[in-house]
Amino acid sequence: MYTLIASVFGGRDWAENSDLLWSLEHIYGFVFAIYVVFTHMALLNLVTGIFIECSMNAAMQDKQMALQEQMMRQGLHRR
């Protein structure tokens, strides 16, 4: 478990661990490589999703504030 976690989070070079598994049995090396790729993709998608959600919320708040400001200006000009 330590090796799996360290390989994904950069604590150890996953290629070294993969080479050891490939020398033992090719299927083990292949499964390990798939694990690393899948985990990295899942983490990247999670971080990207959080970033986009925060950006969308900020954009929505900016739009609402701009609309309120425009409405206030129009109200002041009509009086």
pLDDT digits (tens, 9 = 90+) for 52-73: 999 888 888 888 888 888 888 8
Residues 29, 18: contact at Cβ < 8 Å? yes
pLDDT for the residue 62:
85
Checking if the pLDDT of 12 tops 80, the result is no
Q: How far apart (Å, rounded) are the C-alpha atoms in residues 13 and 7?
A: 6
C-alpha distances (whole Å) from 46 to each of 34, 39, 69 are 18, 11, 35
Checking if the pLDDT of 78 tops 70, the result is no
What is the pTM (predicted TM-score) of this model?
0.56
Q: How far apart (Å, rounded) are the C-alpha atoms in residues 31 and 34?
A: 5
Q: 19: domain range?
A: 2-78
Percentage of the chain exceeding pLDDT 90: 10
Give the total number of structural domains in the chain.
1
